[in-house]
Amino acid sequence: MLTLEGAEPFIYRTHGALVANSPSVHYCANLMSARGPRKYVVSVVGQSAPSDLAHRSVLDEVVHPVVRRSGVDRIFRSVATSSAVITFILMGLIGGFLLVKGYDALKVAGWGFLTDSEWAPDQGGKFGIAAILPFTIQIAVVALFIAVPVALSTALFITEYAPRKMRRLLTAMIDLLAAVPSLIYGLWGLFFLQPRLITLSKWMADHLGWIPFFHVDDQYGTSLGIFPSSTFVSGVIVSLMVIPICTAVMREVFSQAPPGEREGAMALGGTRWGVVRDVVLPFGRGGIIGGSMLGLGRALGETIAVTLIISPAFTAKWSILDQGSNSIAALIALKFSESSTFGISALMAAGLALFIITLLVNAAASTVVSNSRSGSSTEI
């Protein structure tokens, strides 16, 4: 195999066997003709190179390598390719199904589907997601605001500070938390967390009410009865389901930080926190962003836990502590059984909007991780 300066490496069949057999040679090629057989002026430098071959014109022929795969390799390649194609086909079928089922409602609502705050398709009134979509985003943002710091700290502890035996146990527990059904989280949040979060919500309304997100309408005051079914309570419960996903991605990325850079930082007198700050966190920046965005995708589509907590509302508001909230997934779950054919079409259109948003968020997360230094060998 001859490596030509300034060109891609190819396998060449040469008429001069001595040139090809030299183990340590440097070939500087000058292309003489653009078509037909190519003539190169070859300079041979090396201990094993004969002196009479210092400058010699050699007629070379480019030979493209042929890879011969066994039957097992071909079968595995076919199965893997088919699986990838089936995944894309399934995504297309889901999107197409939602589009077909929601077409009638989209045709009637038009652009008003994105700008109207009401939801009365069965009564012949207007319907849209202008109020529901902000609630959905607020719940997801509250969940991420709580989940990302916890997940980041947990991932750093597992990879940098925990003993080996504890590391395995914590990793297994995090993976187990990701497998717990969302209904269990919702019931635990409803009967255990919600009563305790009411007091915290009242404290934030009393002391942080000057911030628009924590301001409560004065006509209701700050009695405990207005806080149970708020966006804040829903977001806290959803954060419990987001933490395992974010932690798993961040832990995987942090564990791939280059050992040489770690040891070099320690050799220069760095502390453990200095290694984390100067090596691990910069290396895992893409994983942190990607894991957070994957958690956002999970939070946007959470259904049962939000349905158990919220009191449905169709008026957008800034405050996350006010009574009443909503989400697209919860709206579909609450309205599906009592809707007419046209109402179901409207719900399908809302599901299509949620499908597109979640797909874009997950695609952006995968792109961020794969384009980062830490994501070159990380799959999410």
Specify whether 364 is located in the same domain as 245: yes
Whether 372 is in a domain gets the answer yes
Confidence class of residue 285 from pLDDT cuts 50, 70 and 90?
confident
Flag whether pLDDT at 371 surpasses 80: no
Mean pLDDT over 361-366 rounds to 81
Whether 5 is in a domain gets the answer no
Confidence class of residue 25 from pLDDT cuts 50, 70 and 90?
very low
Exposure string over 239-248, b if 16+ CB within 10 A, otherwise e: bbbbbbbbbb
Q: Looking at the 3D structure of the chain, how many domains does it have?
A: 2
- pTM of the full predicted structure? 0.74
- Compute CA distances 356 → 82, 91, 212, 362, 366, whole Å: 24, 11, 30, 10, 15
Specify whether 254 is located in the same domain as 332: yes
Whether 97 is in a domain gets the answer no
Specify whether 123 is located in the same domain as 19: no
What do you get for the CA distance between the two ends of the chain, in Å?
38
Whether 332 is in a domain gets the answer yes
Whether 266 is in a domain gets the answer yes
Whether 241 is in a domain gets the answer yes
Specify whether 117 is located in the same domain as 213: yes
The answer to whether residues 182 and 281 touch, using CB atoms and an 8 Å cutoff, is: no
Check which CATH number belongs to the domain holding 167 and give it. Answer: 1.10.3720.10
Q: For residue range 37-95, what is the model confidence (pLDDT) as tens digits?
A: 444 444 444 444 444 444 444 444 555 666 677 778 889 989 999 999 999 999 999 99
232 phi/psi in degrees, rounded to 5: -65, -45
Burial of 167 (0-12, 13-18, 19+ CB in 10 A): middle
Question: Could you give the CA distance from residue 273 to residue 180 in angstroms, rounded to a whole number?
Answer: 33
Specify whether 183 is located in the same domain as 300: yes
Specify whether 52 is located in the same domain as 146: no
Specify whether 116 is located in the same domain as 36: no
Specify whether 275 is located in the same domain as 349: yes
Specify whether 40 is located in the same domain as 159: no
Domain that holds residue 33: 11-63
Specify whether 48 is located in the same domain as 123: no
Specify whether 50 is located in the same domain as 111: no
Specify whether 220 is located in the same domain as 326: yes
Flag whether pLDDT at 8 surpasses 80: no
Whether 145 is in a domain gets the answer yes
Whether 27 is in a domain gets the answer yes
**Amino acid at residue number 373:** R
Confidence class of residue 373 from pLDDT cuts 50, 70 and 90?
low
Q: For residue range 183-236, what is the model confidence (pLDDT) as tens digits?
A: 899 899 889 988 888 888 888 888 888 888 887 876 655 666 777 888 899 999
